[in-house]
């Protein structure tokens, strides 16, 4: 199951900052609501101001606000009076509802006096005609301008059974919090996303370099240092420390490979001397047993030397290789061994060359090891099938007992053998095959062969188009020659192409 891709750091920062902005906005909503609830006078004033504006606009449109629900259903809680000063006396009141809740207009102080003309804006507790003020009773006088006309609106509110304060509070929240935040949060998110992406570009380049280094190290090449260009000071210091560590690791790996190669090379001479001396001894069971042990040891030393040299060879001598021709050549080399064991090799490949960046000798070593294992696993008279697919994958299938599922992950470990008593293997071959496959950017897998046996598949990464050598006349001639040779009666590697 493929793990989901990790989100980018810029996205994480943008999401978290957005969540923080939403939390702050929610806190502001709570703050405004608490402020109005803790100070009912402020909430009443905001409510009456909004109601006065709505009434003036309704009157200007020719509507009758007295029919609104709060005035019709709650005559003892809500009242209003709308007046204009430019009308003649007696015609200045345009609309009213539940006027008995409102204090009466003061009487004229003189014959030509009109109390409407002396109205002023104010807000305060409601004073009823018989004196005193009810609990939570408020009154407001305000001037509203609609369409170039001025309206004076007097309002009274005792309690709030119609919950118009809630509507006013909601309007306040929308005006002072929701609307600003609805613009602020998207703008803030985009700004953070853009800024963090710009700031994290050096880290993105650094991550790309790290991926390249991982691929280079996996192929055994010298590990290049990370670039510290245009990095912040803190990150540049980290890159410097990483480069020092990478350099030490590269030198340590080089020393390890050199030591393994030198040790394997130095062991060859004394081993050859021992085998010469053994050949001078009288033949017998003990001599034959010692010769088999020396042969196994020689094979182990040879595999170790190849394992140590694989990285350096792959790093220095990679070139476009026709996988079909290379594997066919290895198949021909292994034919005498198959004949000696009374077995057959079957070769299956596409008609056209399959060109990949590779090293032919290393590729041959990998295929040879797989074929040797298959010949050892298959019974006499059996057939080992070597196949090359159009994408460059190479498979070797035997007719042996197969590989148990519990051992399929362990067989590629170095020096691992299922049967420790057996002396026909050193436990290095499959590990070497895996290393060569990974040096090519691929890997090797094992699966059950239909009908019994095991099939090992070496996957190689196709960095070079297959058509690169197909268009090369030399490549075509070489492929045709190899096909003719494989088909000749003297060859033991049968061409099983259909």
Closest C-alpha among 442, 458, 445, 393 to residue 218:
442
Tell me: do 16 and 158 sit in the same domain. Answer: yes
Residue 3 lies in a domain: no
Residue 394 pairs in a beta bridge with 388, 458
Residue 203 lies in a domain: no
- pLDDT score at 488: 33
Tell me: do 23 and 134 sit in the same domain. Answer: yes
Residue 389 lies in a domain: yes
Task: Give the span between the Cα atoms of 271 and 277, in whole angstroms.
Answer: 10
Task: Give the span between the Cα atoms of 296 and 306, in whole angstroms.
Answer: 15
Would you say 186 and 213 are in contact if contact means Cβ atoms under 8 Å apart?
A: no
| DSSP assignment string, 191-230 | HHHHHHHHHHHHHHHHHHHHHHHHHHHHTTPPPPPPP-TT
User: Any idea what the CATH number is for the domain that residue 41 is in?
Assistant: 3.30.450
Instruction: Give 464-497 pLDDT, tens digit per residue.
Output: 333 333 333 333 333 333 333 333 333 445 454 3
Three-class SS state of 451: coil
Would you say 129 and 37 are in contact if contact means Cβ atoms under 8 Å apart?
A: no
**Greater model confidence, 223 or 320:** 320
The domain total for the chain is 3
Tell me: do 270 and 361 sit in the same domain. Answer: no
Secondary element (H or E) of residue 440: none
In a 13 Å sphere around the CA of 437, the CA atoms on its Cβ side amount to 24
By residue range, what is the domain housing residue 251? Answer: 219-316
Q: Give the chain's mean pLDDT.
A: 76
Q: Where a domain ends, among 316, 346, 374?
A: 316
Instruction: Give 87-136 pLDDT, tens digit per residue.
Output: 777 678 889 999 888 888 766 666 666 677 778 889 988 876 555 555 57
Tell me: do 125 and 268 sit in the same domain. Answer: no
Give the chain's end-to-end CA distance (angstroms, integer).
36
Q: Is the pLDDT of residue 462 over 80?
A: no
- pLDDT score at 476: 35
- pLDDT score at 104: 80
Tell me: do 361 and 403 sit in the same domain. Answer: yes
User: Any idea what the CATH number is for the domain that residue 250 is in?
Assistant: 1.10.287
**Greater model confidence, 242 or 219:** 242
Task: Give the span between the Cα atoms of 240 and 253, in whole angstroms.
Answer: 20
Tell me: do 171 and 53 sit in the same domain. Answer: yes
Residue 2 lies in a domain: no
Instruction: Give 12-50 pLDDT, tens digit per residue.
Output: 777 887 888 888 888 877 887 777 777 788 888 889 999
Q: Where a domain ends, among 282, 316, 350?
A: 316
Residue 228 lies in a domain: yes
Structure tokens at 93: 């009141």
Task: Give the span between the Cα atoms of 279 and 453, in whole angstroms.
Answer: 38
Residue 193 lies in a domain: no
Tell me: do 124 and 263 sit in the same domain. Answer: no
Tell me: do 329 and 303 sit in the same domain. Answer: no
Three-class SS state of 313: helix
- pLDDT score at 478: 34
* pLDDT band with cut points at 50, 70 and 90 for residue 81: very high
Tell me: do 363 and 259 sit in the same domain. Answer: no
Using CA atoms, how far residue 194 sits from 164, 182, 197, 201, in Å, is 44, 19, 5, 11
Structure tokens at 240: 């410097």
Tell me: do 163 and 295 sit in the same domain. Answer: no
* pLDDT band with cut points at 50, 70 and 90 for residue 296: low
- pLDDT score at 455: 92
Q: Which of 112-116, 172-176, 208-212, 326-330 shows the lowest per-residue confidence on average (mean pLDDT)? A: 112-116
**Greater model confidence, 313 or 48:** 48
Burial environment of residue 266 by CB neighbours within 10 A (0 to 12, 13 to 18, 19 or more)? exposed
Task: Give the span between the Cα atoms of 385 and 376, in whole angstroms.
Answer: 14
User: Any idea what the CATH number is for the domain that residue 422 is in?
Assistant: 3.30.565.10
Q: Is the pLDDT of residue 226 over 70?
A: yes
Tell me: do 383 and 482 sit in the same domain. Answer: yes
Residue 448 pairs in a beta bridge with 454
* pLDDT band with cut points at 50, 70 and 90 for residue 498: very low
Instruction: Give 158-175 pLDDT, tens digit per residue.
Output: 988 988 888 887 887 788
Instruction: Give 351-373 pLDDT, tens digit per residue.
Output: 888 998 887 777 888 898 899 88
Q: Once rounded to an integer, what is the mean pLDDT over residues 53-69?
A: 93
Residue 214 lies in a domain: no
Q: Once rounded to an integer, what is the mean pLDDT over residues 46-57?
A: 92
Give ∠ CA 16-19-25 in degrees, rounded to 5: 145
Q: Is the pLDDT of residue 309 over 90?
A: no
**Greater model confidence, 290 or 61:** 61
Structure tokens at 206: 């650094």
Q: Would you put residue 257 in left (φ > 0), alpha (ψ -120 to 50) or beta?
A: alpha
Task: Give the span between the Cα atoms of 292 and 402, in whole angstroms.
Answer: 26
Tell me: do 335 and 306 sit in the same domain. Answer: no
Structure tokens at 288: 């034959």
Residue 248 lies in a domain: yes
Q: Where a domain ends, among 316, 338, 355?
A: 316
Residues of the chain with pLDDT > 70: what percent? Answer: 74
Q: Is the pTM of this model over 0.95?
A: no
């Amino acid at each position: 199951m493929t793990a989901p891709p990790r989100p980018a750091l810029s996205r994480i920062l943008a999401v978290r900052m957005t969540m923080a902005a939403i939390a702050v906005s929610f806190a502001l909503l709570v703050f405004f609501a608490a402020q109005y609830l803790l100070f009912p006078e402020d909430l009443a004033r905001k409510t009456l101001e909004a109601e006065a504006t709505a009434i003036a606009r309704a009157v200007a449109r020719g509507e009758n606000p007295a029919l609104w629900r709060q005035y019709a259903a709650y005559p003892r809680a809500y009242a209003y009076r709308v007046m204009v000063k430019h009308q003649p006396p007696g015609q200045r009141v345009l609309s009213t509802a539940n006027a008995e809740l409102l204090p009466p207009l003061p009487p004229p102080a003189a014959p030509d006096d009109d109390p409407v003309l002396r109205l002023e804006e104010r807000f305060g507790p409601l004073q009823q005609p018989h004196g005193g003020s009810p609990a939570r009773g408020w009154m407001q006088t305000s001037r509203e301008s609609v369409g170039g006309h001025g309206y004076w609106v007097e309002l009274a509110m005792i309690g709030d059974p119609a919950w118009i304060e809630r509507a006013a509070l909601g309007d306040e929240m929308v005006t002072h919090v929701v609307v600003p935040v609805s613009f602020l949060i998207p703008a803030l998110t985009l700004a953070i996303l853009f800024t963090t992406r710009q700031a994290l570009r050096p880290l993105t380049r650094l991550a790309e370099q790290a991926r390249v280094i991982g691929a280079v190290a996996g192929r055994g090449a010298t590990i290049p240092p990370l670039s510290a260009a245009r990095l912040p000071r803190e990150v540049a210091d980290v890159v410097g420390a990483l480069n020092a560590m990478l350099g030490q690791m590269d030198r340590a790996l080089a020393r390890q490979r050199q030591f393994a190669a030198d040790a394997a090379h130095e062991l060859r001479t004394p081993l050859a001397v021992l085998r010469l001396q053994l050949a001078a001894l009288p033949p017998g069971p003990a001599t034959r047993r010692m010769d088999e042990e020396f042969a196994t040891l020689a094979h182990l030393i040879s595999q170790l030397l190849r394992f140590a040299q694989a990285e350096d060879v792959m790093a220095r001598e990679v070139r476009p290789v026709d996988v079909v021709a290379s594997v066919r050549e290895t198949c021909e080399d292994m034919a005498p061994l198959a004949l000696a064991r009374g077995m057959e090799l079957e070769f299956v490949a596409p008609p056209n060359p399959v060109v990949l960046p590779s090293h032919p000798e290393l590729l041959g070593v990998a295929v040879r090891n797989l074929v040797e294992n298959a010949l050892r696993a298959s019974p006499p008279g059996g057939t080992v099938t070597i196949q090359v697919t159009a994408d460059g994958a190479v498979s070797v299938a035997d007719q042996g007992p197969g590989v148990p599922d519990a051992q399929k992950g362990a067989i590629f470990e170095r020096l691992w053998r299922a049967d420790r008593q057996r002396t026909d293997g050193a436990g290095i071959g499959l590990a070497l095959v895996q290393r060569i496959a990974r040096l090519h950017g691929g890997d090797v897998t094992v699966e059950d062969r239909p009908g019994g046996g095991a099939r090992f598949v070496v996957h190689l990464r196709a960095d070079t188009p297959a058509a690169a050598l197909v268009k090369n006349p030399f490549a075509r001639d070489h492929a045709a020659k190899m096909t003719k040779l494989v088909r000749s009666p003297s060859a033991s590697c049968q061409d099983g192409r259909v």
